[in-house]
Structure 1
């Protein structure tokens, strides 16, 4: 008799930039969520799918919980709360390199509101921490709640303990068949993945408020007739003319760099060479404007 398979949904929560998207990509084994050292890089609920003989994990990568300062920020928090209410397991992430602080405690306490989900504590970034730091963090995290199903230290970059986490998460899932066909790694559309790759390239090297002001809209993706090229036209949207100038750079140098980095990520995704046309446009204060947010998909 074959063993009973388990399948279900897990999401990782924590302060912005604790390594949730990196962990999602490492578990799936393919880049499905963009990563950056900028807080609030993730803006949608992105599903990555992990298949094992024992079952299937659907990992929902969400924005980091934060105190919202704009309508976009509030909508991202609302999205996280909706996901938390629907998943089977919540993984609470704390980096091994930083002491547990008030933000971590607030998020850990907020998990009381999601009673149906089992909770796992995950200490991330152990590759960058000393043994003493890891021990200290495990003790701090263990003391945040009494109902952890497990407390697991790991490094997504070093592939340390990822199998331990996968096995633990699968044992906590409900019994049932796979939710997605074998071979599917995400339910994101190709256009959405292209937009995210471009945004990741645009985020690289920008400072201060600009990361929050960048959105990307893919206008068209089409194979070129009589060629192996795929033509892609996309808009990089910012909030102010001064930000547009930063993205474009001196004589267009920065925009060319963004295009080159984005192409390198897009070509493996579409399976061939890409002609990428990027246009930078201004949508004033789009993060605070309900109509603009709707047009940009938020």
Structure 2
């Protein structure tokens, strides 16, 4: 039986709440979330199954749907090779989509006509205009999700709606709070309304196309972001060097991962006094891995210095989980 199905890319400035929205819609954690901007570095596909909602006298109802949500890095002007790769992830997500959710943080101050700004305010305005410029070029339905309404007074929301409605012909404008899960049903209905009739792209019980190796690496990087200061997180990358599934029931999955940074000083921070920081990162990550994998995990972490890796195209290529899977398949083929 045909259903509504399609790919819906979620775009917006850093820290707009895109990953929080993905997790809220799924009802479980898939994308890592922190208070730091540019936490997401790769596009992540999440599969949301929506059952048929029958029409009633009070509710219009909607058909069953499979929505493939594509979480993307925050839109920003790139300054390093890593930034350029992140923006390429955004452009790739926008090339193959049926609709787009444009997420806006309503706590951001709206630009004033004719206003002259400098410093951080100018950088914010440039980022605002750069993001809006990308959205205006889209030739598909764009749903505007005004996020973080729980942090605004009701009378402050109306100017936000009025401003954004003048910027683009949005398919729908939906105020939401991804954190509080407010307005999500209306958002789902708006998405389904613009999706084409089709078939499922993924089996019903599959929630993502991401391999477990990538999800594990992201959990480690999330803890680095949460537990270390302003400098270290953006200079940190995680590579899973070994992932051995349990050979018998009840045995542990054995994982070895390297946390890369750019300087010896950053390495010292990541390790901490007597290894305390690395232990804290590892313990927190391991607990979430055990929930994710449904069993015991033995985790080994190492910290390595790769000078200026964010400007190295070769190193950044190697971080791509798709390339890692290709290299792993080649290695296994050669060993057979």
| Farther off after superposition, 209-218 or 98-107 | 98-107
- Superposition pairs for residues 61-72 of structure 1, below 5 Å? 61-72=71-82
Residue 149 of structure 1 pairs with residue 147 of structure 2: no
CA distance in 2, matches of 1:21, 1:157: 10
- Map residues 282-293 of structure 1 onto 2, 5 A cutoff: 282-293=305-316
CA contact (8 A) 2:221 2:237 kept: yes
**Residue among 179, 183, 191 paired with 2:205:** 183
Counterpart position of 2:26: 28
Q: State which of 98, 119, 122 in structure 2 corresponds to 1:88.
A: 98
Q: Report the equivalent of 2:295.
A: 272
| Alpha carbons 2:102, 2:135 under 8 Å: kept | no
Match of 2:35 in 1: 37
Map residues 119-138 of structure 1 onto 2, 5 A cutoff.
119-138=142-161
Q: 1:97 and 1:242 mapped to 2: Cα distance?
A: 35
Give per-residue Cα distances to partners, 1:178-234, cap 9 Å, x unaligned. 111101110100111000001001111323332221111111122455653221111
Equivalent position of 2:136 in the other structure: 112
Superposed CA RMSD in Å reads: 1.6
The CA distance in 2 between the partners of 1:91 and 1:225, in whole Å, is 43
Runs of 4+ in structure 1 over 6 Å off? none
1:107-164 deviations in whole A, cap 9, x for unaligned? 223223221x21111110112222122222222222221x101000011121111111
Partner SS state of residue 234, structure 1? strand
User: Is the contact made by 1:13 and 1:65 (CA closer than 8 Å) also made in structure 2?
Assistant: yes
Contact 1:92–1:108 (CA under 8 A) maintained in structure 2: no
Shift of 1:14: 1.2
Q: Quick check: 2:227–2:281 contact (8 Å CA) kept in 1? A: no
Cα distance in 1 for residues equivalent to 2:87 and 2:180: 30
- Partners of 1:39 and 1:262 lie apart in 2 by 20
State the partner residue of 1:15: 13
Contact 1:154/1:160, CA 8 A, preserved across alignment = yes
SS at 1:37 equivalent: coil
Which secondary structure state, in structure 1, belongs to the residue aligned with residue 171 of structure 2? strand
TM-score by length of 1: 0.94
Aligned equivalent of 2:85 = 75
Which residue number corresponds to residue 215 of structure 2? Answer: 193
Match of 2:273 in 1: 250
Name the CA distance, whole Å, in 1 between partners of 2:224 and 2:314.
24
Task: Supply the distance in 1 between the matched residues of 2:81 and 2:97 (Cα, whole angstroms).
Answer: 25
**Where in structure 1 are there 5+ consecutive unaligned residues?**
none
Answer whether contact 2:11 2:103 (CA < 8 A) is retained.
yes
Q: Is the 8 A contact 2:76 2:130 kept in 1?
A: no
**Stretch moving more, 106-115 or 236-245:** 106-115
* Structure 2 residues without counterparts, runs of 5 or longer: 52-63, 112-124, 322-336
3-state secondary structure, aligned to 1:148? coil
Please give the TM-score of this superposition, normalised by the length of structure 2.
0.84
Any conservation in 2 of the 1:94–1:100 contact (CA below 8 Å)? no
Cα distance between partner residues in 2 of 1:142 and 1:158: 24
Q: Deviations over 1:40-99 (max 9, x none)?
A: 111111000100121110000110111111011011112211211211111111112222
Q: Which of 231, 243, 247 lines up with 1:221 in the alignment?
A: 243
2:181 to 159, 164, 173: 159
